[in-house]
Amino acid sequence: MSDIQAATAEEQPDAAAPEPRHNAKRDKPRSLAADAWADLRRNKIFWVAAVLVVIIVTMAIFPSLFTSANPRACTLSRQHSGPTGSAFFGYDFQGCDVYARTIYGARASVEVGVLATLLSGVIGLIFGLSAGYFGRWVDAVLSRFIDIVLGVPFLLAAIVLAKRLSQDPQNNGVVAVIVTLGVLGWTSAARIMRSSVIAAKNQDYVAAARMLGAGPARLMMRHILPNSIASFIVVLTILLGINIASEATLSFLGIGLKGDAISWGIAISEAGPYVRVAPTPLIWPSVFLAVTVLAFIMLGDAVRDAFDPKLR
Amino acid sequence: MFRYIVRRLLQMVLTFFGATFLLYALVFANQEDPIQALAGERPITQNVRQVLTERYHLDDPFLTQYWYYMKGLLTGDFGTSLTGRSISDMMAQAWPTTIRLALMAIIIAATVAIVAGVISGIRRGSIFDNVTLVLTLVILSLPIVVLAPLTQLIFGIKLGWFPPTTGADPGFFKLLMPALVLGSLVVATELRVTRTSVAENLRSDYVRTARAKGLSRQRVIGVHVLRNSLIPVITLIGVDIGQLMAGAIVTEQVFNIPGVGFNLFRGIRTEDGPLVVGFVSILVIIFLVVNLLVDLLYAALDPRIRYE
């Protein structure tokens, strides 16, 4: 997972000459967010990604807008039969409507992706903020702990953790996957947060606020956090895409979602053995999964370009 | 340099204990009756229960159990799987295939990444550069669970260019497609890093000096730029070993390659706890050692960096 962040962080935009602004003088001084938004609005990749993300999220929340078929209504007699009526993609091994199941599969991906990223964000924020702000031994202990978590290859740790968390066969494993991905994915976000907090806390405005008598809580929340959160949010956006891919991988391996859960990872794994006879149940969930991950990573890329002041 | 090595080793020891402890605690702490799990539905006599409890130290406190586990790990005894086979034996059988696959993947990925990365680093903003950037973005977004089955379907089954599955003791050609899939996991990152560092080094003072001395373009790029640009890429290849391990689990399963990942996948599916922990522990150790070696190599390659 961290490779994507490394890749995107290493990349520099081509040094395109900034367009001369005719109304530069009339512009009011803009905040970082307003500036970033102005940048984003001109970015085509951002719009493509945003439209895709909106479609996918709509699909996750209201799957019935896209299909009226019941994804759980499977009839074995329709096994591997071709497209009919509303079942555009035909039927799978169990005789389920592939189109309906692919549409309904968005929910698990988005749900797991968003919640796991939020969990990672909370953990990363707490770790990064306290390591960066308090420094000294707090930083040493927390940084070593981050090193240990980073020292374990992500998927291997996820296999063990997800297996441990989802021992109840009644449960479809959503919570277990969210916790697994959330608990393992926060490290790079914490590191980014830590370094931007360290950079922000030595600024003059923080010293000024401290001299005016602001306590640590106020300093952190009102002064340091707003000025150091940009790159943290960017990392989280990219993490969202990675988490969706990881959910599919875990489900594919049989330790993610299970039971009667509908997930692209499960669909790919189940279609695998029959791929010679019926490739469509494999192809469509794969395409949807790839496009979803691509959309979120493109969004993260665009947001990073807009927010990272070094790249301007 | 010596102090750096010592500090790095101490850090690794800490990480090693931390990681194995987390792993062990996750799998074995507070588990339900493992003896009953071993026996399944059948009843167990008191005698058997007692023998098993003693053999596996189930009555001892958690830390003592961890100690026994560590002793096993450090003396090369990784325990036995639930099917009764020694995990070290299974490892020894599975390794050659996986190493062959991983080496092929690393070499393919590194070659493609370095060649394409250098070209797009030199010609920034060209069509080639833009196309590679878009391609790397697409490859980065293709999860291995999508890439492996689709490649198998398209190139193995529909087009028939490669054998769709490999089977026991695969040769070079049979492993080519899985190695390409596995390599594509890491190629995008490596390519982007090569591109950035080539572009950066092209602007540096020593390149200007070399040009001013009248050296040919080939020599400036081939010797001066390339050597300095490869340093971050080599570190990255070390970190990527973790990615490759994860990718190998899915790839080996999809292409039916009897390697480490294949065994691990089967262990997960058959709920074989000891096998999973044993394999994962070994993989974690390998990951830590490789990263240590790469870090040392990094220090040796780049004399500008002082580790104090």
Q: Environment class of residue B70 by beta-carbon count within 10 Å: exposed (0-12), middle (13-18) or buried (19+)?
A: middle
Structure tokens at A186: 């926060």
Mean pLDDT of chain B: 80
Give the model's pLDDT for residue B202. 83
Express each pLDDT in B269-295 by its tens digit: 777 777 877 788 788 888 888 878 887
Residue B167 distance to chain A (closest CA, Å): 15
- Range with the lowest mean pLDDT among A152-156, A261-265, B32-36, B152-156? B32-36
Cα separation, B212 vs B123, whole angstroms? 21
pLDDT of residue B190: 86
Q: Which helix (H) or strand (E) holds B88?
A: helix B87-122
* Chain A residue nearest residue B17, CA to CA: A148
Distance in angstroms (rounded) separating the CA atoms of residues B125 and A44: 17
Which letter does DSSP use for residue B80 in this model? Answer: B
Average pLDDT over residues B203-214: 86
The four Cα atoms A291, A296, A298, A300 give a dihedral, to 10 degrees, of -170
What integer is the mean pLDDT of B292-307? Answer: 71
The predicted structure's pLDDT at residue A123: 92
Give the pLDDT confidence score for residue A116 in this predicted structure: 93
pLDDT score of A4 more than 50? no
Q: How many C-beta atoms surround the C-beta of residue B211 within 10 A? A: 14
Residue A13 confidence (pLDDT) above 60: no
**Separation in Å, CA of B71 to nearest CA in chain A:** 20
Res B297: pLDDT: 78
pLDDT at B30: 55
Chain mean pLDDT for chain A = 78
Q: Please, which pLDDT band fits residue A311 given cuts at 50, 70 and 90?
A: very low
For B188, the closest chain A residue by CA position comes to: A7
Q: How many CB pairs under 8 A join A and B?
A: 162
- Residue A16: strand, helix, or coil: coil
Closest alpha carbon to A267 in A286, A290, A250, A245: A286
What average pLDDT score do residues A117-130 get? 91
Q: B25 pLDDT exceeds 70?
A: yes
Least confident stretch, A6-10, A225-229, B159-163, B242-246: A6-10
Q: How far apart are the C-alpha atoms of A264 and A158, rounded to whole Å? A: 18
**Predicted confidence band of residue A120 (pLDDT cuts 50, 70, 90):** very high
Residues 6+ apart with CB under 8 A from B198: B117, B118, B121, B122, B225, B226, B229
Q: Per-residue pLDDT for A5 more than 80?
A: no
Mean pLDDT value of segment A280-291: 87
pLDDT at A117 (0 to 100): 93
* Closest CA in chain B for residue A156: B280
Neighbouring residues of A191: CB distance < 8 A, sequence distance ≥ 6: A128, A146
pLDDT at B178 over 90: no
DSSP A202: T
- The answer to whether A67 and A86 have CB atoms below 8 angstroms apart is yes
CB–CB contact B157 A275 (8 Å): yes
Using 50, 70 and 90 to split pLDDT, how confident is the model at A208? confident
pLDDT(B92) > 50: yes
What is the average pLDDT across B27-45? 66
Q: Does A298 sit within 8 Å of B141, measured CB to CB?
A: yes
Q: For chain B, what percent of residues have pLDDT higher than 90?
A: 1
- Range in A29-38, A231-240, B142-151 the model is least confident about: A29-38
Which chain B residues have a beta carbon less than 8 Å from that of A248?
143, 145-146
Query: Chain A contacts of B106, Cβ < 8 Å?
Result: none
Interface residue B148 vs chain A (CB under 8 A): no
Looking at CA atoms only, how far is residue A13 from chain B in angstroms?
A: 9
pLDDT value at position B32? 60
Query: Stretch B80-104: mean pLDDT, rounded?
Result: 82
Tell me the β-bridge partners of A87: A84
**Whole-number pLDDT of residue B29:** 60
Residues of chain A positioned with their CB less than 8 A from the CB of B193: 6-7, 10
Two tokens, residue A22: 């005719």
Percent of chain B at pLDDT above 70? 90
Give me Rg for the CA atoms of chain B: 24
CB spacing of A6 vs B236 below 8 angstroms:
yes
Residues A156-180, mean pLDDT to the nearest whole number? 77
- The Cα-based distances of B306 to A13, A123, A142, B233, B303 in angstroms read 30, 33, 25, 19, 7
- Over the stretch A19-70, which tens digit does the pLDDT of each residue have? 444 544 455 666 767 777 777 788 788 888 889 999 989 888 888 777 777 7
CB pair distance less than 8 Å for B284 and A298: no
Nearest Cα residue in chain A from B145: A249
Evaluate whether A214 touches A223 at the Cβ level (below 8 Å).
yes
pLDDT category of residue B233 using cuts at 50, 70 and 90: confident
Residue contact A253–B153, C-beta within 8 A: no
pLDDT tops 60 at residue A9: no
Question: Is B145 within 8 Å of chain A by CB?
Answer: yes
- State residue B33's pLDDT score: 62
For residues A113 and B17, give the distance between their C-alpha atoms in angstroms, rounded to a whole number: 31
A81/A96 Cα distance (integer angstroms): 10
Q: Which of B146, B191, B195 to mutate to test the interface with A (most CBs of A within 10 A)?
A: B146
CA atoms of A102 and A59, how far apart (whole Å)? 10
**Which CATH class name applies to A32-63+109-311?**
mainly alpha
- The C-alpha angle with vertex B131 and arms to B135 and A264, in degrees rounded to 5, equals 20
Gap between the Cα atoms of A206 and A211, Å rounded: 9
Question: What integer is the mean pLDDT of B233-261?
Answer: 83
Helices (H) and strands (E) in chain A, counts: 14, 0
For residue B33, the distance in angstroms to the closest alpha carbon of chain A comes to: 13
Q: Using the beta-carbon criterion (under 8 Å), do B284 and A156 form an inter-chain contact?
A: yes
Between CA A233 and CA A115 the distance in angstroms is 15
Per the CB < 8 A criterion, the answer to whether A177 and A114 are in contact is no
pLDDT of res. A54: 92
Backbone angles phi, psi at B80, to 5 degrees: -120, 150
Q: What is the 3-state secondary structure (H, E, C) of A256-306?
A: CCCCCCCCHHHHHHHHHHHCCCCCHHHHHHHHHHHHHHHHHHHHHHHHHHH
* Neighbour-count burial of A42, counting CB atoms closer than 10 A to its CB (0-12 exposed, 13-18 middle, 19+ buried): exposed
Which DSSP letter does residue B169 get? Answer: S
The CA-atom distances, in angstroms, between B30 and each of B17, B61, B262, B263 are: 20, 11, 28, 26
Identify which of A112-121, B24-33, B222-231 has the greatest average pLDDT.
A112-121
Mean pLDDT of A8-13: 43
| Three-state SS letters, A130-163 | HHHHHCHHHHHHHHHHHHHHHHCCHHHHHHHHHH
Domains of chain B, each with CATH number or no CATH = 2-74 (no CATH), 94-301 (1.10.3720.10)
pLDDT digits (tens, 9 = 90+) for B125-135: 788 888 888 88
pLDDT at residue number A8: 44
Which of A4, A149, A152 has the most B C-beta neighbours within 10 Å, making it the best mutation to test the interface with B? A152
Tell me the Ramachandran region of residue A181: left when phi exceeds 0, alpha when psi lies from -120 to 50, beta otherwise.
alpha
- Over residues B242-259, mean pLDDT: 84
How much is the pLDDT for B39? 66
Residues 203-222 of chain B whose Cβ lies under 8 A from any Cβ of chain A = none
